[in-house]
Structures are given as structure tokens and as C-alpha cells.
A and B are shown apart, each in its own frame.
Chain A
Amino acid sequence: MSAHRADPRLSRFDPLERIIFYDDFDEGIRGWSELIGNYEHTLDSMLAEYSDMRPPMLSNLTMWDTGAAGSMEGDYALKLASRARAGSLATSIKRLTFRRRGHIQLECYFTFKPEANELRLSLNDVRAFGVLFDLQDGMNPEYRWMPHLRYLNAQGDEMINRWQMKGATREFQKIGDSGETVSHFHLGPENWENVDAPAQTLAYNEIATKMNWHYLRLNVDLAERRFLGFQCNDLIYEGDPLKFISIPAMPNLNCMLNTAFWVESNRDKRAFLYLDSVLLSGEF
């Protein structure tokens, strides 16, 4: 039996050869920070979409009707909270670099809900949540590439329940006047495509104050630049590699290995994504 199977906190994961990080949010925020856009001289120079991506927080999942639920394994989860505005995004990122271009695998346990400020089902009040990698080759880099995976829960009044990928970003825009800074917004509503996998209805559990935890896994090959597949609970996608955003390498991003999660509201109501724990493993 491998060593991680004997550890009750790790035995629910299937890591690759070595663990790059394991973040149990009972220990704190663990290096997850708010995503912000690039700017020069003034915050007003930032692309508007990046101006307000909300700070992550530690939550013990306290509900007005039943008190604190705690996290899946412990007391605290990382919470991303949008504003109470349709289309508002909350996005948190952890920034690393890699030391070898091998396979990497992200695993997490998550749940999502709208703010429980109405006594109704609220099933379609969260539009989407997702996870992305922001990657660039190391020595003599050719590409920066960004695998995105989102679960589109609902759009307007329609339940969608589909996993989606993204193959293109928006045009780069110059920021400020020095010529040194550019920015592109890659979390807009355009260019999402359904993954060739069935719709998946994730347990919502009837009211906005009950949370069930879900498992998610993503696999990426840094050497071949392939987005290999994913698993969410009992849905396993191992078909053709998924599409991703690919752009020419940028001057100061070599070996970048960034991971980000986000959640988007579908109503003028806060949308919450909770992460009990996140594990990134790899071959290196």
C-alpha cells in the first residue's frame, strides 16, 4: 500500500508520483490569493473585468438556519464569493513554477451554492464555476497555454449542467503608456464549448443551506501541451484531448504553473464556491 493511502487526509486522493502541494484549508489560506489584472500608474488602467475579482476567505460554512457545517475534513474551507450581481466573478489563484515538463494532476473536493438569502430552491442562481491552469514552457519557450474547464450550471432560467472547455481568449490590449504591459481577459462568456461528455447533475440537495462535497480531477501533460481529461465524481472523461487557449510565449513567464478557481453568479445574488482541499501532483 502506498504511503498516502495510510494517511486519512490523503487516502481520498489519487496523486501522481510526487505531491507538488497539498492545501487543507484548516491550515489557513495556503497561498491562494485574489486574481488581479495588470495595470500601470493607476488601478483605473486595468481591464474592467479584472478590477474586482474578490478576495478568498476561510469559511466554516455557517448557515442562518442550521449553524456551521464545517468543511468536508475539518472546520474550514476556502471560499470564493462573488458580488450580488449577475455575471460577477470571484477568482483565486496560486502561482508556482515547474521544474520538469511532465504530467501534472489537480484534485480537489468542492461544493458550490448561492447565498441563502431567499427561502426558495435557488437551483440556477450560480451560473458557473471552473478551474484553469496558466502555463508557459521553460527554456526557449514557444507557448503560453491555458487549459480551462468550467461547469456551466445555468444560464438565465435554463439549467445547463454541462462541462465546458475554452479554445480562444480575447485580443490582447495595451495597458498604460510605457509599452511594457498588456492584458487579456480570458474568463468572458465567449468561446466556451461543451466537452463531449454527458450532462452531469451535481447533487444540490434541495435548499441553499445544504452542501454536498464533490470530487474533481484534471490531468495535463506539460511536455506535449495536452489537456488530457478530467473526472468529477463518477463522470470520467478520457476522450480526445480538450481544447485550450494557446498564445505565443511572453517575456517573463517561463516555467509558469498557475492554478486558479472561479465562480460566477447567474443572478443579482452572491455565488459561493468552497474548496475543502486541493492537491497538485506531478511527475518530476
Chain B
Amino acid sequence: MSLRRSYTAIVERNVLWQGEFASEPYESAWASEAIFFVRALEVSRDFAGTAHVQISADGIHWVDEGSSFDLPKSRDEVTFCKVRHFGGFLRIHGIASNDGVKVLVSLALKE
């Protein structure tokens, strides 16, 4: 039996997002499915933010994929978004309120 390859990358760790943010590009051409997990390490009261999945042919020019999800609003809360059929490069991009959230972003990929 051949097992499906999988890999989880920590694309952002202990990073404060305030205002506009984008995770670092991650090459995912080998994978057919992905989940972005965002865990709040520290978050201010009344925080609000939304992330949009973006795809890219070259890792330089980005376009919204169409999927969006809320960022976590309390410490250790996790939010996520599932994506399929995304081509070569993945990231999340969005707007966080100015009081900010410190995040750990995991990208779980599977063949």
C-alpha cells in the first residue's frame, strides 16, 4: 500500500498581525488538498479580522481563491479553512483590526 504524502508547515509563528497582513508564500504544487489553521497565541479584546486564501502561479502575483474565514478572537482559539485545486503557491491575506492578534499559522498539505 502506498501512503499519501502529507506535510505540515508552520508558515507564521508568533507573528503579530495588525491591519493588512499576508502569510509567506508556500509552494504546494505536489499537494491536492490543504488546510490553513490559525491559532491565536495572544489576542486583544474586541479583536476582529478576516483571512482570504490566495493562490499564485509564480509566488509573486496573487489572486483571491474565493475562500475566507475569521481569525480567532480568543487565546488558543483555532480557526481554519479547507482548500482544494489551488495550483502552485498558497498564502492567506487579509485585514486585522489594529489592536492585533499574535498568530501561529499551520498549513497542512496532503497529496
Give every chain B residue within 8 A of A64 (Cβ-Cβ).
57-58, 60-61
A129 at interface by CB-CB < 8 Å: no
- CB-CB < 8 A to A63: which residues of B? 58
- Measured CA separation A29–B28 after assembly (Å): 12
Contact B27 A43 (CB under 8 A): no
Q: Which of these binds chain B: A6-14, A51-59, A238-246?
A: A51-59
| Contact indicator B14/A51 (Cβ below 8 Å) | yes
Residue among A54, A79, A83 making CB contact with B27, cutoff 8 Å: A79
CB distance from B58 to the nearest CB of A (A): 4
> A28 interface residue, CB < 8 Å from B?
yes
A62 within 8 Å of B (CB atoms) = yes
Q: B interface, how many residues as a size bin?
A: 20 to 34
Total A-B residue contacts, Cβ distance less than 8 Å: 56
Determine the interface band of chain A, counting residues with CB < 8 A from chain B. 20 to 34
Given contacts A58-B27, A63-B58, A115-B60, contact A29 B14 (CB under 8 A): no
* Nearest chain A residue, comparing its CB with the CB of B25: A81
Q: Which residues of B contact A115 (CB under 8 A)?
A: 59-60
For the residues of A in contact with B, the DSSP-based class is loop
Find out whether the CB atom of A81 lies under 8 angstroms from the CB atom of B24.
yes
Residues of B within 8 A of A191 (CB): none
Nearest chain B residue, comparing its CB with the CB of A57 = B27
Given contacts A64-B58, A81-B24, A115-B59, contact A43 B14 (CB under 8 A): yes
Query: Which B1-55 residues have C-beta < 8 A from chain A?
Result: 5, 7, 9-11, 13-15, 24-30, 41
Among residues of B, the one whose C-beta sits closest to the C-beta of A44 is B14
* Residue of B10, B15, B61, B88 touching A60 (CB-CB under 8 A): B88
Query: In the docked arrangement, what's the CA distance between A54 and B30, Å?
Result: 19
**Also in contact, A62 and B7, with CB within 8 A (given A44-B14, A115-B60):** no
Q: B30 touching A117 by the CB < 8 A rule?
A: no
Question: Is A227 interfacial (CB 8 A cutoff)?
Answer: no
Known: A43-B14, A51-B14, A60-B29. 11 other contacts (CB 8 A): A34-B9, A34-B10, A44-B14, A54-B24, A55-B10, A58-B27, A60-B30, A62-B27, A68-B29, A79-B27, A83-B24
